[in-house]
Structure 1
């Protein structure tokens, strides 16, 4: 029996600061390195930023969104005091989103947080497959 991958509605969402900055591009490149690892368990990647900076997107299979409302909804802003002035900026963050609900979050973007979210995504996908298989078993 061949099982289809269940539609869990799960995706990895990276909220990044401006991709015009070195910091934003560094996070962008790290997330793209992990894209294929998440793809192996059918978890697509979307990148949300306020400013893609007109940069030609490197990966046509990745959804790029410039939307400050999504950033606000995910609470991915931080307030800082710089030389006595309060400024607000986008905090680079990772989210596992399942059907418009945050299933996992990492406040930092690094290999360890990506690995942690991958494990969480794997467990969610595995549970969905087990539930699907249980529904296919004969009664008795």
Structure 2
């Protein structure tokens, strides 16, 4: 069975249709009981039919990275963004990781630009960090 066959099965699922109507009504959702890559296939089906941005949160960085890889295989790479923590090590707040700061800035810019929606993959530790306000971001953005 190929990847496109599995995608087709998920696209035709009645449970996906129920989730689709929940998303269309802009109600918050929480999915449980999905194992392995099934979450990635469900997210792919819903994202493809929706014009809304998605935020998928995981409990830790490793789990988020696993699903990020899955989603990048199913969806256009430009439509899947990773929002990491900006710090290298816990309890050493002074040491930021510049690559992660750049990834965070790209996600915030994508949200701020209100262009095509994306799936943002993150984890609890990363979203607890404070970020700049939209107004401050716009004020300090240099457009070339």
TM-score by length of structure 2 reads 0.24
TM-score by length of structure 1 reads 0.25
The structure carrying a bigger strand percent of its residues is 1
Report which of the two structures shows the higher radius of gyration computed on alpha carbons: 1
